[in-house]
Amino acid sequence: EDEAQAPAVPEETVPQDTTRIALITAKGNVRAFRTDIQFKCDSLIFFQLDSLARLYNSPVIWNEEGAHQYSADSISLKVANDMLEQASLMSDAFVTIREEENCYDQIKGTEMMAYFDSTANLRRFDALGGASAIFFLKENDAFATVNKVECTMLSANLSGGELERIYY
């Protein structure tokens, strides 16, 4: 006897599996390029559930437009709505901000938290533990002063990629 077959369900009506969670791992000379930010590291783990990308073994992140560079022993990036929201630089954190071709503000700390705006430009950072910094200051549209700061904690707000206010 012939068994009655159920009619095929069109693919469009099959509900999407919302229980799938993306996990991305990469090893050995990992590089990623976007228009707003780029990075390189030795290994990467991205877990969609917590939206964290973990970069290991001397990662370096840079933003060409804002001329910022971030490095540490390991970095965790929080991504929300396909945009970089914050970075946690763990152990030997170092940030450079290009002021001009030969002038770079430099911030170093044991750990650092960096917060980004919607265009992936740095808007705030907090350096924790043994923080030190070198900042170039402009007077009459020319760099005239270099400030060196050593403290236990240093925070700064930026606007349009420029240092606005520093707390230590």
pLDDT of residue 5: 63
Mean pLDDT value across residues 125-150: 87
Closest Cα partner for 94 from 114, 79, 117, 67?
A: 114
Quickly state the pLDDT bin for 49 (edges 50, 70, 90): confident
> Letter for the amino acid at 29?
N
- How far is Cα of residue 22 from the mean position of the Cα atoms in its chain? 20
CB atoms within 10 A of CB 145: 9
Choice among 1-10, 56-65, 150-159 with the minimum mean pLDDT: 1-10
Phi, psi dihedral angles at 13 (to 5 degrees): -90, -5
pLDDT tens string 6-44: 556 566 676 766 666 778 899 989 998 887 788 999 999
Partnered with residue 126 across adjacent β-strands are: 113, 155
Q: How far apart are the two ends of the chain, measured CA to CA in Å?
A: 85
Owner of token pair 């900042």: 135
Report the pLDDT averaged over residues 126-143. 86
Residue 63, pLDDT > 70, answer yes
